[in-house]
A and B are shown apart, each in its own frame.
Chain A
Amino acid sequence: MGIEGIGASVARKEDKRFITGSGRYTDDIRLHGMTYAQFVRSPYAHAKVKAIDSSEAMKMPGVVAVLTGKELVDDKIGNLICGWMVHSKDGSPMKMGAFPAMAPELVRFVGQAVAVVIADSKNLARDAAEKVDVTYEELPVVADIRAAIASGAPQLHPEAPGNIVYDWSLGDEAATDAALAKAANVVSIELTNNRLVPNAMEPRSAIASYDSAEEHFTLYTTSQNPHVARLVLSAFYNIAPENKLRVIAPDVGGGFGSKIFIYPEEMVALWASKKVNRPVKWTADRTEAFLTDAHGRDHLSKAEMAFDKDNKIIALKVKTHANFGAYMSLFSSSVPTYLYATLLSGQYDIPNIYCEVIGVYTNTTPVDAYRGAGRPEASFLLERLMETAARKLKVNPAELRRKNFITSFPHQTPVIMAYDAGDFHASLEAAMKAIDYAGFAARKDKAKKEGKLRGIGLSCYIEACGIAPSKAVGSLGAGVGLWESAEVRVNPVGTIEILTGSHSHGQGHETTFAQVVADRLGIPISQVSIIHGDTDKVQFGMGTYGSRSAAVGISAIVKALEKVEAKAKKIVSHHLEASENDIVIEDGNFKVAGTDKQMAFANVALAAYTAHNLPPGMEPGLKEGAFYDPTNFTFPAGAYICEVEVDAGTGKTSFVNFVAADDFGRLINPMIVEGQVHGGLAQGIGQAILEGTVYDKSGQLVTASFMDYSMPRADDLPSFKLSHTTTLCPGNPLGVKGCGEAGAIGASAAVINAITDAIGTEKIEMPATPDRVWAAIHANA
């Protein structure tokens, strides 16, 4: 592997700027003549906008403009789109209401923008926004799923009767019902998957500028996928044609899904920059982030699992209501359907699965993909069900899982996915060994003597990553292909620039992608630069989400590197008068096998650019591009085990141990992978015990600040013990699977399974805060 190649825990190339305070995030950028935008947002969850009076604001010196939703409509700026068409089970297309960037007539969630103030300074814009007088007429509110589907509930959108976006299903209901009817045992469960606020530490920000002479826009923005942003802004929102719009995502301070989507603020900043003919900057404050960043999860589910007399699973039936909030965000429709129900087979051989998903509008912030997106919901449901079943059937939870594991591959599940590789016994074994599962009973007894309730919980997750084969997602309703592109640009002296459509916002691509090149060509990673996040530099790309950058983004780089190598070998064979087939690459040199003849890579590059002596007909230069479209999803999987101790007197949960055994296929940089798992686990544990998003009945977000919404802090979390088992992904050149979401997908079930084991009741909702745990203990007693 070499000291910097694939498999080496190389320290990151990008660190220096971050540890010296010289990172360059969007809000750090200032343009000449820049103005500042402050949005006027609805304080009501559902109301008619009767009038907007901006006269007082416009009188303030330094206020440049106050723009409203009506002017946006007049200028033919498009409504926000949902890019994935999902059909209900009756064949009808999903029913969507219009999502305007600023509401001209009706607001449907607290925080929805109705106007924007553009002013010379941020504080002036804030003051002026308070002077914009908006007259609202309040309407009745539905603040959660149950209220939305109740008969006679207030309606959000006339297009969606009963507040239902779709009633979708996957699988064979008749066969599943038949299996349930003949089951020896049926175990059922009802659960909530709590709504989460992503809260990347960097708030969203956008700076738009317009060059009137060139009729050209530039947008700096906090995006995980700048090319997709440009595509959507051009093709659907009528901002500018693609060749007249450059989108740059500089350093981005975390995304976790929330920075995939193209938001109203970016659209308005662009539009406003042309209207006022000056650059416009907008940066969210934290409460704006809480109110307007797309939220995650928010499911209510019922599920039944059928077992035969030998405890083999024969069927799974699931009914889920998913809360979409007030509008359909960019990829929202796919999250509780194709990213959720398709994973309900988990690691198990389940012959019959049927899942019905009802998507619901409510007067809350839109909900879309958040770390894991659908897969954490599937994993939580299935693993809570497995643990509950083991307890009800009085079998060991590990044994019940082992009995039902899929053991041969490829394996076609009844819910679309074809698993290509895995070894679920190996990861469970590794995790059980790491936590000394066998010794748990003795530890529990000892804790009991000390007056503590100890519990252990397993979670065996699987996810589908490497998103995604374009043809497959196209057939399922996606509006885009999910390939990735790469360009390998070798410079005349042999240094290399890699241009990638993947986007790094913490993942360390500048290091891992360079390691792949170093591994292949034997040159140091210091000679390889990774360029991303700028539509003027990189040809195109789909961005980073769904743990896709290694499996799809790097695969595109490998494809382009193969082309570079092939051309380089032709040049070497011409210079050294040897057969191309005899050329091998060793330590940065192209050698003729079995001889002492060689050319350093830098000399090959120089020869390509001087073009003094190239093979007949060969073009000068050494630069190749490639597009890679995956043939299948990848399937990272693993086993997590959590051991907790609960204080019955206070309900407080303390972590005794948390172990994770993951199979991500080949690891490019194990240290970076470890960091991804740590962060994912923190978010999964946060969901389980801390993070609760609370709306009151009037649709006010009660938890709209860091004082009210509890995310994991350093003293809330345990130290994690990680290990890996490996089956290579057969579907891509390096055998990689992806690691970015696993922790968030697998952790929450392990924690709740441990807490329920400790307290002896299954009835606890996430987040299992001390008051809830205390109440559950005492309800049981």
Chain B
Amino acid sequence: MNEAVNIRVTVNGEVRSHSVAPRETLADFLRNALELTGTHTGCEMGACGACLVLLDGQIVHSCLIFAVQADGAVVETIEGLAQRKAIAELQEAFHQRNALQCGFCTPGVLMTAYGVLARPGVPSRNEIRDALSGNYCRCTGYEAIVDAIETAARRRAEAAAEPEPETAP
């Protein structure tokens, strides 16, 4: 049971082959083996949301998943989303609205927000609060986070509604 297992996992677009202990969580694997320390562990029981990552496109608690379960999967962390500019408008809205303070919960909150923005339309503030209810933030009281997500969603919807720019013949 303690023997290491070889896994192949695509993390932030790169194939990574590693030998991991069966008990190693995906969160610890990302943080320690891959040095992707943007994923945080705040409770290690799936209650705080600081460790959220994308696993095959689904938002999951990386503290509740073993690294071996990610064998063959595609994982994306906050570093990956930031690098491929998938959350640029959220980052900008969070920055402009002061929607973070100590920053520890922020990567997980941005993951949730990424999920919110993936849905069509502009969510209501209550819908945003509902979506955020799996993320603990002890600093902000959530108000600015709700504002920032609302702003980013509105901007995205406005951009989608704008007519396609004319292309040269």
Q: How far is the CA of A22 from the CA of B91 in the complex (A)?
A: 13
Task: Give the distance to chain B from A35, nearest Cβ to Cβ, in Å.
Answer: 14
Q: Is the CB of B107 within 8 A of A21?
A: yes
Contacts of A17 in B (CB 8 A): 103
Q: CB of B56 within 8 A of chain A?
A: no
Q: Is the CB of B140 within 8 A of A678?
A: yes
Q: CB of B61 within 8 A of chain A?
A: no
Q: CB of A711 within 8 A of chain B?
A: yes
Q: How far is the CA of A672 from the CA of B139 in the complex (A)?
A: 11
For B24, give the chain A residue with the smallest CB separation: A123
Contacts of A508 in B (CB 8 A): 98, 101
Q: How far is the CA of A456 from the CA of B136 in the complex (A)?
A: 28
Task: Give the distance to chain A from B155, nearest Cβ to Cβ, in Å.
Answer: 16
Chain A positions 385-418 with a Cβ under 8 Å from a chain B Cβ? none
Q: How far is the CA of A678 from the CA of B105 in the complex (A)?
A: 16
Please judge, given known A-B contacts A199-B138, A671-B98, A719-B143, whether A705 and B45 are in contact too, CB under 8 Å: yes
Q: Is the CB of A21 within 8 A of B48?
A: no
Contacts of A683 in B (CB 8 A): 138
Task: Give the distance to chain A from B60, nearest Cβ to Cβ, in Å.
Answer: 17
Task: Give the distance to chain B from A435, nearest Cβ to Cβ, in Å.
Answer: 17
Contacts of B48 in A (CB 8 A): 201, 286, 706
Q: How far is the CA of A758 from the CA of B144 in the complex (A)?
A: 29
Q: CB of B133 within 8 A of chain A?
A: yes
Q: Is the CB of B23 within 8 A of A201?
A: no
Contact with A along B105-143 (1 / 0, CB 8 A): 111001000000000000001101110111111111111
Q: Name B140's contact: one of A24, A675, A711 (CB within 8 Å).
A: A675
Q: CB of B70 within 8 A of chain A?
A: no
Q: CB of A226 within 8 A of chain B?
A: no
Q: CB of B9 within 8 A of chain A?
A: no
Task: Give the distance to chain B from A637, nearest Cβ to Cβ, in Å.
Answer: 20
Q: Is the CB of B45 within 8 A of A286?
A: yes
Q: Is the CB of A286 within 8 A of B145?
A: no
Q: Is the CB of B104 within 8 A of A254?
A: yes
Q: Is the CB of B77 within 8 A of A20?
A: no
Q: Is the CB of B136 within 8 A of A706?
A: yes
Q: CB of B102 within 8 A of chain A?
A: yes
Q: Is the CB of B141 within 8 A of A682?
A: yes
Please judge, given known A-B contacts A286-B45, A714-B146, A715-B130, whether A19 and B102 are in contact too, CB under 8 Å: no
Q: How far is the CA of A711 from the CA of B96 in the complex (A)?
A: 26
Q: CB of B71 within 8 A of chain A?
A: no
Q: How far is the CA of A680 from the CA of B21 in the complex (A)?
A: 42
Task: Give the distance to chain A from B6, nearest Cβ to Cβ, in Å.
Answer: 18
Task: Give the distance to chain A from B133, nearest Cβ to Cβ, in Å.
Answer: 4
Chain A positions 713-743 with a Cβ under 8 Å from a chain B Cβ? 713-715, 717, 719-720, 743
For B149, give the chain A residue with the smallest CB separation: A714
The number of residues on chain B lying at the interface, defined by a beta carbon within 8 Å of a beta carbon of chain A, is 58
Contacts of B140 in A (CB 8 A): 675, 678-679, 682
Q: Is the CB of B141 within 8 A of A715?
A: no
Task: Give the distance to chain B from A671, nearest Cβ to Cβ, in Å.
Answer: 5
Contact with B along A689-715 (1 / 0, CB 8 A): 000000000000000011100011111
For A705, give the chain B residue with the smallest CB separation: B45
Q: Is the CB of B101 within 8 A of A675?
A: yes
Q: Name B101's contact: one of A30, A506, A717 (CB within 8 Å).
A: A506
Chain B positions 71-111 with a Cβ under 8 Å from a chain A Cβ? 77-79, 82, 91, 94-98, 100-107, 110
Task: Give the distance to chain A from B140, nearest Cβ to Cβ, in Å.
Answer: 6
Q: Is the CB of B106 within 8 A of A19?
A: yes
Contact with B along A9-42 (1 / 0, CB 8 A): 0011011111111111101101000000000000
Q: Name B82's contact: one of A19, A25, A707 (CB within 8 Å).
A: A19
Q: How far is the CA of A707 from the CA of B137 in the complex (A)?
A: 15
Q: CB of A674 within 8 A of chain B?
A: yes
Contact with A along B39-72 (1 / 0, CB 8 A): 1101111011010000000000000000000000
Contacts of A713 in B (CB 8 A): 132-136, 142
Q: Is the CB of B138 within 8 A of A256?
A: yes
Q: CB of A625 within 8 A of chain B?
A: no
Q: Is the CB of B40 within 8 A of A706?
A: no
Q: CB of B19 within 8 A of chain A?
A: no
Q: CB of A104 within 8 A of chain B?
A: no
Give chain A's interface residue range (CB within 8 Å of chain B): 35 or more
Q: How far is the CA of A200 from the CA of B101 in the complex (A)?
A: 12
Q: Is the CB of A19 within 8 A of B94?
A: yes
Chain A positions 644-697 with a Cβ under 8 Å from a chain B Cβ? 671-672, 674-675, 678-683
Q: How far is the CA of A506 from the CA of B48 in the complex (A)?
A: 18
For A680, give the chain B residue with the smallest CB separation: B141
Q: Is the CB of A203 within 8 A of B42?
A: yes
Q: Is the CB of A12 within 8 A of B98?
A: yes
Q: How far is the CA of A18 from the CA of B21 in the complex (A)?
A: 30
Q: Is the CB of B139 within 8 A of A506?
A: yes
Q: CB of B7 within 8 A of chain A?
A: no
Q: Name B79's contact: one of A21, A202, A251, A681 (CB within 8 Å).
A: A21
Please judge, given known A-B contacts A18-B106, A675-B98, A706-B136, whether A717 and B45 are in contact too, CB under 8 Å: no
Q: How far is the CA of A248 from the CA of B97 in the complex (A)?
A: 30
Task: Give the distance to chain B from A97, nearest Cβ to Cβ, in Å.
Answer: 32
Q: Is the CB of B103 within 8 A of A720?
A: no
Contacts of A199 in B (CB 8 A): 138
Q: Among A30, A202, A203, A683, which residue has the most Cβ atoms of chain B within 10 A?
A: A202
Q: Is the CB of B141 within 8 A of A202?
A: no
Q: Among B82, B95, B110, B143, which residue has the most Cβ atoms of chain A within 10 A?
A: B143
Contacts of A123 in B (CB 8 A): 21, 23-24
Q: CB of A75 within 8 A of chain B?
A: no
Contacts of A506 in B (CB 8 A): 101-103, 139
Q: Is the CB of A286 within 8 A of B79?
A: no
Q: How far is the CA of A286 from the CA of B45 in the complex (A)?
A: 9
Q: How far is the CA of A671 from the CA of B94 in the complex (A)?
A: 12
Q: How far is the CA of A286 from the CA of B106 in the complex (A)?
A: 18
Q: How far is the CA of A28 from the CA of B47 in the complex (A)?
A: 21
For B82, give the chain A residue with the smallest CB separation: A20
Q: Is the CB of B96 within 8 A of A11?
A: yes
Please judge, given known A-B contacts A201-B102, A254-B102, A674-B98, whether A711 and B138 are in contact too, CB under 8 Å: yes
Q: Is the CB of A679 within 8 A of B146?
A: no
Task: Give the distance to chain A from B51, nearest Cβ to Cβ, in Å.
Answer: 11
Chain A positions 432-460 with a Cβ under 8 Å from a chain B Cβ? none
Q: How far is the CA of A46 from the CA of B48 in the complex (A)?
A: 31
Q: How far is the CA of A506 from the CA of B138 in the complex (A)?
A: 10
- Having A20-B78, A671-B97, A675-B98, one finds 5 other A-B pairs with CB under 8 Å, namely A23-B104, A506-B103, A508-B98, A679-B101, A711-B136
Task: List 23 interface pairs A-B (beta carbons < 8 Å), by A numbering.
Answer: A12-B95, A19-B82, A20-B79, A20-B82, A21-B78, A123-B24, A199-B138, A202-B42, A253-B103, A254-B139, A671-B97, A675-B140, A678-B143, A679-B141, A683-B138, A705-B47, A711-B136, A712-B141, A713-B134, A713-B142, A715-B133, A717-B143, A719-B125
Chain A residues at the B interface, C-beta cutoff of 8 Å: 11-12, 14-25, 27-28, 30, 122-123, 199-203, 251-254, 256, 285-286, 505-508, 671-672, 674-675, 678-683, 705-707, 711-715, 717, 719-720, 743
Closest 9 CB pairs of A and B: A21-B38, A18-B103, A253-B104, A506-B102, A678-B141, A21-B78, A682-B141, A506-B101, A706-B47
